[in-house]
Amino acid sequence: MSEHDRDPTPDAETETRNDEPLLEIEGLRTTFGTDSGTLVAVDGIDVTVRAGETVCLVGESGSGKTVAVESITRLVQSPPGRIEGTVRFKGQDLLSADEATIRSIRGHEIAHVFQNPQNALNHCYTVGWQLVEAIRVHEDVPEAAARARAIDLLDRVGIANASSRFDDYPHEFSGGQKQRIMIAMALVGDPDLLVADEPTTALDVTVQAQILDLFEELKTEFDMAVLFVTHDLGVVAEIADRIVVLYAGKVMERGTVLDIFERPGHPYTRALLECLPGRGNEISGIGGSLPEPTAPPDGCRFAPRCPHAIDACHRDGQPLETEIEPGHSVSCVFYREGRDSSVVSPEGPTGVSSDDADEEARSTDD
């Protein structure tokens, strides 16, 4: 059972897919200057999104999901924000690009959909007018053509009788319909990457499911990749190809949907899964709370809440990610070379009692 830290040899995934990553986030670190010191919202994360795939960023409230995705096109206000690292989109670094370049990409090649459609639509103008305006910002087309395109987009996102709804105001639409309209707005520039930040959280469950279905359809129809942010693993299971589990600004685990749901490695991922309905812990949730983002703990960020934590978990920074199978990696001390990862498995350590294993792990601390 020799598990190894991530090595430079290409994994099966990159070998079998010939497409270059669409988006490559490396060492992204976003901080805010606050009265109580520097708040580290995102602390050196790597995320890759390939053309056409759906990657979900999942984690509890405050783990840095929104800040991470808003850092991509520099939507984070700076100051007080400060974004460091590399964000390459089709090979171009967005963090060092000039403002004009960013503006030409934001809303065009990379479009955002936000949690609350209420705030994003202007209640003084008809929905059709707003769409036409958005279309004409992108391309210099006559009004009639923009109008036809707007109606087509409304139709494609599932607004029934699109042409007769064109002159309706936002308040004449339901919450779910408003989110559909916001998605239509995002599609105006025919994006290659749609960044959706909790787009269904404000909606009731049935509508939520319909919007998720819509994402699935549009993804294929518009041939785009989706970077989807949610705190809800149930949502993730519906739409993700790959998952990145974030906790307190750090990546805890990453893998495919099957990796994460069937073979979760990190105690944090396991705890999140336990909170899913019917998994036993949905009422009480994970004990404890996120660390203070201005004073994160040394060692693994989850260690203060982790039932398995040993001394080694409380020092030397977040453990390097260990790849436990191709494309599936875990940032946990127990997956380091020479440690017994079965200690953190739900079944408990293999062969030895939990206490023995803890003792053994302690005695081999380096």
Ligand X SMILES: Nc1ncnc2c1ncn2[C@@H]1O[C@H](COP(=O)(O)OP(=O)(O)OP(=O)(O)O)[C@@H](O)[C@H]1O
Question: How many C-beta neighbours within 10 Å does residue 155 have?
Answer: 15
If the CB atoms of residues 289 and 350 are measured against ligand X, the closer one turns out to be: 289
If the CB atoms of residues 27 and 80 are measured against ligand X, the closer one turns out to be: 80
If the CB atoms of residues 188 and 193 are measured against Ni ion, the closer one turns out to be: 193
Tokens of residue 307, six digits: 């039932």
Interface residue with ligand X, options 22, 23, 39, 273 (CB under 6 A) = 39
Interface residue with Ni ion, options 48, 66, 177, 269 (CB under 5 A) = 66
Beta carbon of residue 63, minimum distance to Ni ion (angstroms, whole number): 8
Torsion region of 287: left, alpha or beta (phi above 0 gives left; psi -120 to 50 gives alpha): beta
Stretch that binds ligand X, among 65-73, 156-164, 183-191, 307-315 (CB under 6 A): 65-73
* Beta strand 250-256 pairing with 328-330: antiparallel
By CB under 6 A, residue 158 contacts ligand X: no
3-state secondary structure of 74: coil
Tokens of residue 364, six digits: 């081999």
Q: Tell which positions 46-65 bind Ni ion, by CB under 5 A.
A: 65
3-state secondary structure of 85: strand
If the CB atoms of residues 65 and 250 are measured against Ni ion, the closer one turns out to be: 65
- Tell me the helices (H) and strands (E) count for the chain, helix number first: 13, 13
Q: Tell which positions 173-232 bind ligand X, by CB under 6 A.
A: 231
Site track 75-94 with ligand X (rule: CB under 6 A), x = hit: -----x--------------
Question: How many C-beta neighbours within 10 Å does residue 297 have?
Answer: 17
If the CB atoms of residues 60 and 192 are measured against ligand X, the closer one turns out to be: 60
Interface residue with ligand X, options 21, 23, 58, 64 (CB under 6 A) = 64
3-state secondary structure of 23: strand
If the CB atoms of residues 32 and 215 are measured against ligand X, the closer one turns out to be: 32
Interface residue with ligand X, options 62, 85, 175, 304 (CB under 6 A) = 62
Q: Which does 32 bind (CB under 5 to 8 A by kind): ligand X, Ni ion, none?
A: ligand X
If the CB atoms of residues 63 and 177 are measured against ligand X, the closer one turns out to be: 63
Cα distances from 354 to residues 199, 347, 348, 357, in angstroms, run 42, 10, 6, 5
Residues 6+ apart with CB under 8 A from 178: 117, 118, 121, 170
Q: Tell which positions 264-323 bind ligand X, by CB under 6 A.
A: 293
Torsion region of 346: left, alpha or beta (phi above 0 gives left; psi -120 to 50 gives alpha): alpha
Main-chain dihedrals φ then ψ at residue 58, nearest 5 degrees: -125, 145
Beta carbon of residue 76, minimum distance to ligand X (angstroms, whole number): 7
If the CB atoms of residues 57 and 185 are measured against ligand X, the closer one turns out to be: 57
Q: Which does 62 bind (CB under 5 to 8 A by kind): Ni ion, ligand X, none?
A: ligand X
Beta carbon of residue 77, minimum distance to ligand X (angstroms, whole number): 6
- Strand (E) or helix (H) holding 154: helix 143-156
Stretch that binds ligand X, among 60-68, 142-150, 163-171, 326-334 (CB under 6 A): 60-68
Beta carbon of residue 99, minimum distance to ligand X (angstroms, whole number): 19
What interhelical angle do 175-187 and 143-156 show, nearest 10?
130
Whether the CA torsion 177, 178, 179, 185 is positive or negative: it is positive
Main-chain dihedrals φ then ψ at residue 251, nearest 5 degrees: -85, 125
The footprint of Ni ion on this chain (CB under 5 A) covers a number of residues equal to 2
Tokens of residue 143, six digits: 């009004």
Give residues in contact with ligand X (CB under 6 A): 32, 34, 39, 41, 59, 61-67, 80, 231, 293
Binding site for Ni ion (CB under 5 A): 65-66
